[in-house]
Amino acid sequence: MSTTQTADPSAAANKIGLYKVDLIAGNEGVPGAPILRLSLLVNAATGEVTGQGRITQAVESGDVPISNIKGQVRATGFGEYTKVLSLEGEGFVSFPPPAIGSYLAPFTAHFGLKSDWSGKGGWELKGSQPVEDVPCEAVDHG
Give me the tens of pLDDT residue by residue for the chain, a chain 142 residues long: 333 333 444 444 567 899 999 999 999 988 889 999 999 999 999 999 999 999 998 776 679 999 999 999 999 988 899 999 999 999 999 888 888 999 999 999 999 999 999 999 999 999 889 999 999 999 986 5
The reply to whether 32 falls in a domain is yes
What is the rounded distance in angstroms from the CA atom of residue 123 to the CA atom of residue 138? 16
Number of domains comprising the chain = 1
Indicate whether 2 belongs to any domain: no
Where do runs of H (alpha helix) occur along the chain? none
Give the structural domain span for 14: 9-138
Residue 3: inside a domain, yes or no? no
Answer yes or no: is 73 within a domain. Answer: yes
Domain CATH number, residue 101:
2.40.128
Q: How far is CA 53 from CA 30, 74, 90, 91, 107, in A?
A: 20, 20, 10, 9, 10
Instruction: Quote the pLDDT of residue 2.
Output: 35
Does residue 17 lie in a domain region? yes
In this predicted structure, what is the pLDDT of residue 1?
32
Distance CA 57, CA 78 (A): 35
User: What's this model's pTM, rounded to 2 decimal places?
Assistant: 0.86
Q: How many other CB atoms sit within 10 Å of the CB of residue 50?
A: 16
Residue 117 lies in a domain: yes
In a domain, 65, yes or no: yes
pLDDT of residue 13: 54
pLDDT for the residue numbered 61: 63
Q: How high is the pLDDT of residue 5? A: 38
**Is 4 part of any domain?**
no
